[in-house]
Structure 1
């Protein structure tokens, strides 16, 4: 059975500007510039204002919880695919999928980008399922926590990225 989760991230950035960054190349290239074990493939299959961002990263052993290390069969590579649709009025929808090697897992869900009085927010709703006998249910909360940490890390990077451009 999959574990469901949801959370919201706030940004002091207008929807149109945030959407343009999320569907553009510069933000993602900058985000992954210092990640030696990560790869990035960005395309625009739905045309301008849309994106498909595929990220693959080999996770360092010291970053993997002990419970997970015990069941790994090989190096842990995490793949995430984000798809963003074009803006419709002042909102945009997106989806995400995540999988990992060495441990059978899947994460999927939706994004909703919408305006707020202070800028914008992304509502994230999804589920995670880890298919490992006996310990899969114990690993699912760890995978959910990882998703939250990654999303919060990306939020901080994006806010800083926009702040740096405003200073120029």
Structure 2
């Protein structure tokens, strides 16, 4: 059975700047440049001011929770594909799908970027399902937490990247 989730990540930059960064190939290439275990592929199937980001990463064994290590069939790899549309007015919408190897996990949902009094925010809403008998339900919250950690890391990088670009 799948689990629904929703969370919001606040940004201290205006929505137009945030969107410009997210659809920028150079920002994503810089984000993944130092990683030995992650890869990114970028495309623009819907044209300029849109982006498809395909991210893959292999988890280091010491970073995998004990409960997950017990049911792993092989190395744990994570793939996420985000599609972002154009900024329309002060909002942009996107979709995401994610999956893992080593343990069958599927995640999908929507992303909504909008302005706030402090800058901008992205709301993520979706479902996650871990297809492991007996313990899948216990692992689903861990998968959601992983997504939250990843997008929080992206937030930090994007804000720093924009600050350097403005300097």
TM-score range relative to shorter protein: over 0.9
Extract structure 1 runs of 4+ deviating beyond 4 A: none
Query: Under a length normalisation based on structure 2, what TM-score does the superposition of the two structures give?
Result: 0.97
For 1:70, the equivalent position in structure 2 comes to: 70
Equivalent in the alignment of 2:15: 15
RMSD: 0.9
Maintained 8 Å contact 2:21/2:162: no
- After superposition, the C-alpha distances for 1:79-103 in whole angstroms (9 at most, x for unaligned) are 0000001111111000111000111
Q: What's the TM-score, normalizing by structure 1?
A: 0.96
Unmatched 5+ stretches in structure 1:
none
For 2:54 and 2:153, how far apart are their aligned partners in 1? 17
Residues 39-87 of structure 1 show CA distances to partners (whole Å, capped at 9, x for unaligned) of 1100000001111000010110001001101111111110000000111
User: 3-state SS of the aligned residue for 2:133?
Assistant: coil
Q: CA deviation at 1:166?
A: 2.3
The corresponding residue for 2:153 is 153
1:26-65 equivalence runs, <5 A: 26-65=26-65
Q: CA deviation at 1:38?
A: 1.0
The structural deviation recorded for 1:127 is 1.1
Q: How many residues align?
A: 167
Q: Superposed, which structure 2 residues align to 1:66-145 within 5 Å?
A: 66-145=66-145
